[in-house]
Chain A
Amino acid sequence: MADIQLVNLTRRYRQGSHTVTALDGVDLRIESGEFTAIVGRSGSGKTTLLDLAGLLLRPTSGTVLFDGEDTARLSDGRRADLRARRIGFVFQEYNLLPGLTVVENVTLACRYGGGDRREGRRRAVELLEMVGLGHRLRHRPDELSGGQQQRVAIARALVNRPALVLGDEPTGAVDSQTSDELVALMRTLNRDEGVTFVLVTHDLDLAAQTDRVVRLADGRVVSDQPAAGGMAVTASA
């Protein structure tokens, strides 16, 4: 279980002679076991927020508390360890390694997680069976459809039993039927495995299937409410 807290998080980029503020003093708390969508227009800061929450980026100011631990003070190595053991990623373009088989792609995350290799493989097979690809273990990514590749990526994100899975437009490259299937799959894993999901998306249909929708605009949180029109949570600007 992971409790993620973004505290006054700001990220600025240099773009030529200009400084662009991608995220501007965001405060946000994601509770363990939540299934949350981050929405907003292009350039609103969604992906930057995801990169900061996933410890891929360091903030310009503010910090990310991961289960209460201030990650801003951690070394690159310790942040990599946290990514390996506690965080899973699902990307729009799947990002599977073409030279590896399906099961090898899933166990790739175990390679850096430092766990038992045999247990990692057993877990990978279990997850691939769970996502309906138990019969494609030795296939290469280019032998699978887009939806199947994203299922492999979801299995990879979960193989180290992470507390948090971050999805960057996880259904952005598949058709709507496959998208619904993938969301249903993530929902099941969220419920059965207790994994916290944070999905960045343009897709409002997908957002509507989550528990909570956080809307960003110009690097700030402009709304934060239950997806099905329930009670609004905190809104920080």
Chain B
Amino acid sequence: MNEIFRNLLRRKVRSALTISGIVIGIFALTTMGALAEHFNSLLDVGVRYAGAAIAVRPPAEQQTGLLPLSKADEIARVPGVAAVRPAYSVSADPSNTAIQLGAPALITNEQDATAFGFPTPSFAAGRDLAAGERGEVVLGSTMAKSYGKRVGETVDLPVRPTDAKPDFVNHPFRVVGVLAKTGSPTDGFAQVDDEDARMLLADTLPPALRSAVDVSNLAQTFNVYTASGTSLAGMDRIAQRINDTVPGVQTQKPSEVVANFKSTSTTFTAIFTGAAMLALVIGGLSVVNTMIMAVGERVREIGLKKAVGAHTGQVMREYLLEAAVIGAIGGLAGYGLGLGLTTLVNMAGASSNLDIFLVTPRLSAIAVGFAVAMATIAGILPAFRAARLDPVTALRSL
């Protein structure tokens, strides 16, 4: 191994340029990969949620966008339906209307449906909402961080915009729990009791409608749960039954929602693969070039090694190892830079729920492993040329 490092140091500038090529490639791979991993993790959560419940919405032609709670009883009578829960979501930060890369901050009502396969929340601190207790909130990790709130403190929701209209209303909630970071959109959610959610929904209505609409009997959507373990195809059939037998509602087949998420995930994976290809071309060509030059410069050394007993395979292994070391140095440096940049950007964006990079163990292994594998593969041709050199010709070359 010492010999390899000394060989690299013999041609410092060339080694540095080659390694720089790999660094750039792996840096691109790490950052693009971290972006793709972040979005794919969001999409994975989408797939988990879409696969856990059938979303029932008002028909597209209905203007109010709300459903009477009584529909829950009708839906519950459809064969295969295990539970029906109303679902509400209002913006937690109405002033933040800019296009954002991160998930929006939302206030939702807790689903309490883990018995039906809904993802189980994991708490970093505190506890779950107490049944029937008003004024309590469980914050997602990002929301707790961005609002600087801990268990036991009070948070006013929604957050008052700087240009709030005179009729803007918000309410104090006591933070009873903070969820562990999941890397999913739920990190930016605040969960409240159903009644509190309906109260917050009413606050979002135009003042003229607030007194006319009784939200206590309304839901924005319903989440329909099936027996735990029901297949997507089984949920599709139940969704179709709801469409066929319950008037005034509309469902989308969970398999279609999952397929949409997966097709988007494929797009991000394609971006990631594109970055990998870029790394492959830049890094691979520079390694091939460097190793061919190294073999050309060390012809006599190779001849000497063969004269003192080196087998063809041993010479080949030495050159492949040198190429792999170049790849490992470039890979680690590129990964380190990528990790540094993504961490900095995430830290800068954390306060605005804008952590857009996710460096997973899988991505780390791919970035470094890819660099080593790419450099090793690129080293095969030069190593083969070195190993096949005729010792007599090599020893007496100029």
A positions within 8 Å CB-CB of B: 51, 54, 56-57, 76-77, 80-81, 83-85, 88-89, 91, 93, 95, 97-100, 104, 108-109, 111-113, 156
4 additional A-B residue pairs with CB within 8 Å, beyond A57-B392, A95-B395, A104-B2: A77-B311, A77-B312, A95-B301, A112-B311
How many residues in B have their beta carbons less than 8 Å from beta carbons of A? 21
Complex interface: chain B residues within 8 A of A109 (CB): 308-309
Jot down 22 A-B pairs with beta carbons below 8 A, ordered by A. Answer: A51-B392, A56-B306, A56-B392, A77-B312, A81-B309, A83-B307, A83-B308, A84-B310, A88-B308, A89-B308, A91-B395, A95-B303, A97-B3, A97-B301, A98-B10, A99-B10, A104-B2, A108-B308, A111-B310, A112-B305, A112-B308, A112-B311
Q: A95-B395, A99-B7 are in contact. Are A112 and B301 (CB under 8 A)?
A: no
Check B6 against A99 for contact (C-beta < 8 Å).
yes
Check B305 against A108 for contact (C-beta < 8 Å).
yes
- Partner among B3, B306, B310, B392 whose Cβ is within 8 Å of the Cβ of A100: B3
A97, B302: Cα distance in complex, Å: 10
A177, B6: Cα distance in complex, Å: 34
Nearest-neighbor residue (CB-CB) of A76 within chain B: B312
Q: A91-B395, A98-B10, A99-B3 are in contact. Are A80 and B306 (CB under 8 A)?
A: yes
Nearest-neighbor residue (CB-CB) of A54 within chain B: B307
Rounded to whole Å, the gap between the CB of A124 and the closest CB of chain B is: 13
Nearest-neighbor residue (CB-CB) of A166 within chain B: B307
Nearest-neighbor residue (CB-CB) of A89 within chain B: B307
A57, B300: Cα distance in complex, Å: 16
A97, B4: Cα distance in complex, Å: 12
B positions within 8 Å CB-CB of A: 2-3, 6-7, 10, 300-301, 303-312, 314, 391-392, 395
Rounded to whole Å, the gap between the CB of A118 and the closest CB of chain B is: 17
Nearest-neighbor residue (CB-CB) of A96 within chain B: B304
- Partner among B303, B310, B395 whose Cβ is within 8 Å of the Cβ of A80: B310
Complex interface: chain A residues within 8 A of B10 (CB): 98-99
Complex interface: chain B residues within 8 A of A112 (CB): 305, 308-311, 314
Complex interface: chain A residues within 8 A of B309 (CB): 80-81, 83-85, 109, 112-113
A85, B3: Cα distance in complex, Å: 22
A111, B2: Cα distance in complex, Å: 14
Check A97 against B304 for contact (C-beta < 8 Å).
yes
Check A95 against B311 for contact (C-beta < 8 Å).
no
Rounded to whole Å, the gap between the CB of A139 and the closest CB of chain B is: 14
Rounded to whole Å, the gap between the CB of B314 and the closest CB of chain A is: 6
Check B300 against A95 for contact (C-beta < 8 Å).
yes
A51, B307: Cα distance in complex, Å: 10
A97, B309: Cα distance in complex, Å: 15
A54, B311: Cα distance in complex, Å: 15
Check B311 against A80 for contact (C-beta < 8 Å).
yes
A100, B306: Cα distance in complex, Å: 17
Nearest-neighbor residue (CB-CB) of A57 within chain B: B392
Nearest-neighbor residue (CB-CB) of A100 within chain B: B3
A100, B311: Cα distance in complex, Å: 20
A109, B312: Cα distance in complex, Å: 15
Rounded to whole Å, the gap between the CB of A204 and the closest CB of chain B is: 23
Rounded to whole Å, the gap between the CB of B276 and the closest CB of chain A is: 33
- Partner among B3, B7, B304 whose Cβ is within 8 Å of the Cβ of A95: B304
Nearest-neighbor residue (CB-CB) of B8 within chain A: A99
Rounded to whole Å, the gap between the CB of B318 and the closest CB of chain A is: 9
Rounded to whole Å, the gap between the CB of A113 and the closest CB of chain B is: 6
Rounded to whole Å, the gap between the CB of B317 and the closest CB of chain A is: 11
Nearest-neighbor residue (CB-CB) of A159 within chain B: B308
